[in-house]
Each structure stands twice: as structure tokens, then as C-alpha cells.
Structure 1
Amino acid sequence: MKIRLLTAILCMFAASVAVAAGPVPTGTVSGKFLGEGKVPLSKGSVVLFRRGSGPPPAPDRYWLVPDHVETMDDDGRFTVTVEEGTYFLAAIKRNDHLEIGPPRAGELFLIAADDKGKLLTFDVKGNGAVNVGTIGGARPISKETGMMRPGATAIEGRLVDGEGKPVEGAVVFAFTSQEMQGKPLYVSERSDSYGKYLLRVAEGGKYYLRVRSAYGGGAPDEGSIFATLGGDVPAAVSVTSGEVLKDVAIPVGRFERPIKGKGKR
């Protein structure tokens, strides 16, 4: 699956909202990213976060679900079509280019910022074109990024199947409303071999958790990992700013499509 297709799947999170509201004007963002030594970020991915849809991106504290992900060419160049709005811009060079979650240790990452470290934003107008020029300095993510830091806010626990066995390789999404519609706000790193997950968030509050084996909106694939904390009636977890809410176990299952006229199998 190519990143372009994954971008389309990501956009499906908010598809129902977009259809109800009607067409939204779009524009383009283009530019070029460089890694260390001014080497083009060949086949990296440009990642855009829309301002106002959540807190500013801060990968050393939490990972937001991006609004757009697009593959760069061999020279680190990109052109992305986005809805009218203001965006933060980042770049990732993956070890596995199909993964679009939080950057892992050793992968190259960069958020567009000024010389003082202040994040830059880019305004996109309908039918407009924004060229951000060349942005350099993508560096390897350290092992410390993604680890808990003093004062961090997070939810952690285990994913287990019906027999209590750990579920590895799934991600946990955090929504801020019980309806759990549209794009989730945060996402965890993938669960480890013990089923442990760590979902970092920007601040305390109530969150509704959903587990999937992959990114993307729309109906899950048959047999894929899928669960909502609380089941048919999503249950909230409450976390306090600066604290880690521990031992939040989430029972997970495999998605099964209902048989017409017979309910779920």
C-alpha cells in the first residue's frame, strides 16, 4: 500500500463531516526537505497537521493523528493538495515507509520551525499555491523520544484478547467525544509483545479509546484487530495533566461483518 493511498484512507475519518458540509476549497503546499549534510530526504513523507484541530505537534511529548501524509520524490520534493486552512509542516524518513504512526528511534524527523525553535505555520487559500522552499535539518529520532518524561500526561495499559493473552502490533486512538466520529486526536505507538501500549496526550481530560491494527477510517478489514473501550457504549477514561493513568486494560477482538438478517456472527 502506498502512502498516497494511506493519505486517502486517513481523510476518510472526516468524510461524513465533509459530505454534510459540502465541498471545501483546496490549495496546494509544495517544497523540498533535506536531511543531514543537505542530502535530499529521498522517498520520505511530508506530514501536515491542521492548526486548530488540536494542540500544536510535539513528537517528544505526544503524537497527533496527521491530517495529510504524502510521499516525497527522490529529491525530497513534494506537492500536497489540502483543504483551505493553516498547517504545521513536518517530514519523516521511515525505516519502513508504509508505517505512518509516531516516528521510531533512528528514523529521520523534522518539524518546520524558525531559528529559535518556534513552529512555523503555512496558510493555504482556496485555489492558492504555497511554496515553502527548501527546509533542511531532518535528524534521527533519539531513543528518548517517545519515552515518558517527568510531567508527561499519558494513558498506559495492555491490550488482551478473549483469553487474556497479549495483543501485539495494534495502535490505540484517543477521541475527545463519545460519538468517536471524525479524525481521532492522538495515537499511541504500537503495542509490544506483552500487549503494552503507551498513549501520550497533551493535557488531562476525558478520552475515549479505540484500538485498531492499522491507521485509517472506514470499516475495518475482516479479521483485523478492532475494539472500543466500553464496547457498544464507549466509556471515558479520565487522566490528570502531568500524570500517567496506568493499568487501563482494553479487551480486543477481531472484526466480523454482520450476516444480513442474522446479526453478528
Structure 2
Amino acid sequence: MSKSGWWLLPVAAVFFLAGCASSRPAASVDKTTVAAQEEQAVDGVSGYEQQDGRTGLVGRVFLKDGGQPLAGAYVNIYPDTTSNLLGPSQFISSPTDEDGYYRIDVPAGTYYIVARKRTTGEPSGPLAPGDYYSEHRRIRAEVKSGRLARVDLEVVPMKAPMFFKKNLADRRTDTGIRGRLVDASGKPVPGSFAIAYVDDNLKRLPDYASTLSDGQGRFTIYLPKGGTYYLAGRVHAWDMPHPGELYGKLGGDQPKPLAVKKGSFVEDVTLVLTPFTGTYKPGKSRRPY
């Protein structure tokens, strides 16, 4: 595995329409603003549980109006608020069960928690009227080693649509790339991303990111125009890969160019992800854009 392509995924700003205040792109948020936002966060931990020494989060997603459990919701985990808790998250849970419960393993640390459910059933993408989300609250949780932090999340239906600015994964266009993320044995890698670059320098911030891969490892990258692109795939949308994290490039050590024509999709692209063997550099690429 080459050590050259390991920068985080792009997280552009998201703007809400009709009665919702817009936010600046994450890249323009300075440290003072971020600190102020984080200070306004609500501590969402109601207690800690022990389960076979696991470290992470556990809880229930329910409707704010009536308190009924919400099945099929996803819980997104962000490391801070610089992305305004929008776009790809550092971690994402499996869908909540019929009683609204979720559990997700994450390293010890402080996180910001968001719950969302789309009527399409997809784990990622723009929210639309009728989808559920935990409003714009900044719910913060401290995860302690060997414990599961209990965080219950109330959600409301979205009444106004939202859209993404350019370079975000789910801005639908008539041009792009579809394929699958698989491991070395050919098994699908769900809940991960394909990323695209306009040149063969993969050791930087990607230019485009895909939708979150589904249970079969399938992804879609929407592109604004045709051209030549270079692809990679990875699990997390944050920081450079750690040793052992699944990562791969189309073409292996020598990135392979992929020609895309305007108005069409390149289909059936397979990206093989194997454990990253490069050297992790603490502090590199820690800010989501």
C-alpha cells in the first residue's frame, strides 16, 4: 500500500432554506467561532454503562412529539463543530432497531451527536421534507474508555428542504462514477467513501466524495463535468488513515486515470480496500472542510 494518498474527505457547508439561518463554509470558521459554538453545546450523557469492556455510545432515538421510538435512524458522530455538524461524519451507526436503540463503538474522547432518518432509507444525502433529524442542537458527549455513554436523541420532521453547495457527495448531477468498495477477499465494505481527484496528487484534500457506500459496497460520485479523475476509497471521513484502516486507490500504487464524459456515468468501478500501511502523522488534516 502506498503512503501517498491519505487526506480527509471534503465536507462543504450546507445551507437550510425557508426559515433556517445559513452557515458559512466550514473552511472559513475560525478557532474563536468554533470554541464559541462548542461552549453552547448541551451535555447529552445521561449515564454510563459497562458491556464487556466496550467503549462507545448507546441510546435511543425517539420522536420529540409523542416520544415514540424511531426505527431506521442513523446516528452521526462528529469530533467537533467546525463542519456545523453537516456532511460526512467521523463515525456513523447502524440503523436503529424497532425500539429506536443504537450502539456504536468509538474511541474515548469528546464527540457531537446527531440523529437523522431519511424516508429513502439511505444513511447519507440531503435531507428532504418529511425526513427526521435532531434539529440544530449541539449535543456533546464524553466517551470514557471501557464504558458506553448513554445518549438519547429526540428528533423532529424536517419541514423545509436543504441543499448542498458544490463539491459535496450528494449534489445530484447527470455526470459521475458508480461502483463498489470491496476488501481484499471481495466482500463489500459498507458505510465508506470513494473519493475523486482531478489530478494524480492523492496526498491532499480530495476534490469530490461519494455517497456513503450501502450494504453491497455500492457508491456514487456526482461530478459537475466530464474529465479525467483519479479515485481512492476509505472508511472514515476524517483525518489521515490510521495503520490498519481500510484504504485503496484505483490502479494500486500507480493511480489509474479514469475518463468521464459529460452527461454520462462510468459504471462498475471496483475499488479494493486493504489495511493502510503508511505512517500516521498526528495532527495532519484534522479539520473537516
TM-score, normalised on structure 2? 0.45
User: Which structure: greater helix fraction?
Assistant: 1
Compare relative contact order (CA 8 Å, sep 6+) and give the higher one, 1 or 2.
2
